[in-house]
Amino acid sequence: MCGVTSRRGAEQLIGQKKVTVNDNVVEKMGVIIDEQKDVVKVDGAVIEPVRKRLYILLNKPKGVLTTLQDPFRRKTIAYFIKSAPARVYPVGRLDYDTEGALVLTNDGELAYRLAHPKYQVKRVYQAVVGGVVTADHIEALKRGIKLDDGHLGRIVEAEILMSDLKTSKLKLVMTEGHKREVKQLLKGVGHPVKALKRVEFAGLRIDDLKPGRWRFLTHVEIRRLKDMVGVE
C-alpha cells in the first residue's frame, strides 16, 4: 500500500532486515502496526500509504545511479524526478554508465511484475561494441551464455545496425534484466561494450525525451502495462 514493493517483495525485505517499526528491526512476518502512531521505515526511509498512484518514464542519463539515495553523494535519479508530485521507485535497474528508458512508479505490485523474469517484459537496447560482430556471434548470444550470478543469459532478437573494422552497433531485444547482463553477454562473445542505451522498456520508448527528462504515462499506456503482466 506504500508503493515500495509487492507483498512477496515485502516479505523479502523483512527477511533481509531492511524494515523497521519505530526504529526496531522487524524479525517476523505479520507484525501489526498502528498507522496513526507507528513509524515504518524501509532502508531508513519513512514510508506511508500511497494516496495517488504515479507512473513515470524517465530517460536516465549515463553517469547517474538508479537509486534514490547514495551515501557517497553521487548523482542519482532522484535529482531528475524531484519535481514529481509523490515519491516513486525505479522498476529494475540501469547501470551507472547506461542511459535510456526507466519506468518509475509507486504501484508496488505492477513494479514487481514488470521487473520479474516470469513475465518476459521486453527490453530493447542499442549497443556500440568493439570489433566486428558476425552472425555466429549473434547465434551464440541467442543460445545463451552463463552469467556471473549463475543464470543463463540470452537475447531474443538481434540486428547489426552498423559495422566497420573497429566497432559494431547492435539492436538487442531481451526479456530479462539480470545485473550487467547485456555487458556480460557481449563480453562473452569477445565484443566488450563501449556504449549502451535502453531505447525501449515494455513498449515504452524514449524517442521524444532528452536525457534527464521525464513524462507521465498516459492512461492507455498504464492499462497496457497492467494487462501485460496481469494486474487488475
Q: Is 30 exposed, middle or buried (0-12, 13-18, 19+ CB in 10 A)?
A: exposed
pLDDT, one tens digit per residue, over 109-119 is 999 999 999 99
Query: Given 95, 136, 164, 207, which residue is catalytic?
Result: 95
Angle, nearest 10°, between helix axes 108-115 and 7-15?
Answer: 80
Res 123: pLDDT: 97
pLDDT, one tens digit per residue, over 69-107 is 888 999 999 999 999 998 899 999 999 999 999 999 999
My answer on whether 174 and 139 are in the same domain is yes
Cα dist from 169 to 73, 114, 145, 221, whole Å = 33, 27, 20, 29
10 φ, ψ to 5°?
-65, -40
User: Can you read off the three cell numbers belonging to residue 45?
Assistant: 526511509
pTM above 0.95, yes or no: no
Q: Is 131 exposed, middle or buried (0-12, 13-18, 19+ CB in 10 A)?
A: middle
The residue segments making up the domain with residue 158 are 122-201
CATH of the domain at 76: 3.30.70.580
My answer on whether 134 and 187 are in the same domain is yes
pLDDT, one tens digit per residue, over 179-225 is 899 999 999 999 999 999 999 999 999 998 999 999 999 999 999 99
My answer on whether 114 and 226 are in the same domain is yes
Q: Total structural domains in the chain?
A: 3
Binned at pLDDT 50, 70 and 90, residue 5 comes out as confident
95 catalytically annotated:
yes
66 φ, ψ to 5°?
-85, 70
Of the candidates 180, 230, 227, 226, the residue with the CA atom closest to the CA atom of residue 53: 226
Angle, nearest 10°, between helix axes 135-143 and 181-188?
Answer: 130
My answer on whether 109 and 215 are in the same domain is yes
Res 153: pLDDT: 94
Residue whose grid cell is 534484466: 177
The average confidence (pLDDT) of the chain is: 93
Residue whose grid cell is 541467442: 142
Contact predicate 200/123, CB 8 Å: yes
Res 35: pLDDT: 85
Phi/psi region, residue 203 (left: phi>0; alpha: psi -120 to 50; beta: rest), is: left
220 φ, ψ to 5°?
-65, -45
Contact predicate 108/53, CB 8 Å: no
My answer on whether 1 and 62 are in the same domain is no
My answer on whether 29 and 54 are in the same domain is no
Query: Between these two residues, 54 and 36, which has the higher pLDDT value?
Result: 54
Res 84: pLDDT: 93
Res 36: pLDDT: 86
